[in-house]
């Protein structure tokens, strides 16, 4: 096993933690969280409330190589946390914890914690600061904005 890395993205959302968690339970949440610039297609969305359910996504590694990504939901603790682990896909290892907690502002703290091991052994570790980390940053900035937009709309927060 190589060296695992950790990526974390946090945002404060002006909505109750239950609402933020409910967004992730929407049947089309994964599609809503996929940026338009990503060459990804949701083949099967997982039901996060069903531990063992799997999401299947077709994507392209580095925008070129087609790859099928299968992630299995391994933990579900509403409205605080759910987790998925890559079963097969582009990374040598991938565990993604989605955490939602009350925030002092009266809203919620959304935290994505990803523990991963880059693909391609040594080459993947070299490419990480130039390709993987910037892509994860852009992806999760988009995901948090999409979550915020849905959660903060309407008055029934």
pLDDT confidence of residue 27: 92
Cβ contact 70:45 at 8 Å: no
**Cβ count within 10 A of residue 157:** 16
Higher pLDDT, 120 or 111: 111
Share of the chain above pLDDT 90, in %: 67
Q: Which two tokens stand for residue 134?
A: 């910037």
Inform me whether the pLDDT recorded for 81 exceeds 90.
yes
Inform me whether the pLDDT recorded for 60 exceeds 60.
yes
pLDDT confidence of residue 130: 64
pLDDT confidence of residue 157: 40
Q: Which domains does the chain have, with CATH numbers?
A: 5-152 (3.30.530.20)
pLDDT confidence of residue 118: 83
CA–CA separation, 83 vs 74, rounded Å?
A: 6
pLDDT confidence of residue 155: 38
Inform me whether the pLDDT recorded for 34 exceeds 80.
yes
What DSSP letter does each residue of 36-103 carry, written as one string?
TTS--EEEE---TTSTT-EEEEEEEETTTEEEEEEEEEEEEETTTEEEEEEEESSSSEEEEEEEEEE-
pLDDT confidence of residue 125: 66
Q: Which two tokens stand for residue 104?
A: 């002092």
Inform me whether the pLDDT recorded for 74 exceeds 80.
yes
Residue range 111-120: mean pLDDT, rounded: 89
CA–CA separation, 74 vs 53, rounded Å?
A: 8
Inform me whether the pLDDT recorded for 140 exceeds 80.
yes
Q: pTM of this prediction?
A: 0.89
């Amino acid at each position: 096993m190589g060296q695992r890395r950790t990526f974390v993205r946090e945002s404060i959302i002006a909505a109750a933690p239950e609402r933020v968690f409910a967004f992730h339970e929407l049947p089309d949440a994964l599609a809503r969280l996929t940026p338009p610039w990503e060459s990804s297609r949701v083949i099967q969305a997982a039901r996060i409330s069903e531990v063992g359910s799997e999401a299947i996504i077709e994507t392209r590694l580095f925008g070129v190589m087609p790859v099928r990504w299968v992630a299995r939901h391994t933990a579900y603790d509403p409205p605080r946390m759910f987790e998925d682990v890559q079963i097969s896909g582009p990374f040598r290892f991938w565990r993604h914890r989605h955490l939602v907690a009350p925030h002092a502002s009266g809203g919620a703290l959304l935290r994505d914690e990803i523990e991963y091991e880059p693909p391609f052994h040594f080459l993947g570790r070299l490419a990480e600061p130039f390709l993987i980390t910037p892509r994860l940053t852009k992806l999760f900035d988009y995901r948090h904005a999409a979550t915020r937009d849905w959660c903060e709309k309407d008055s029934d927060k």
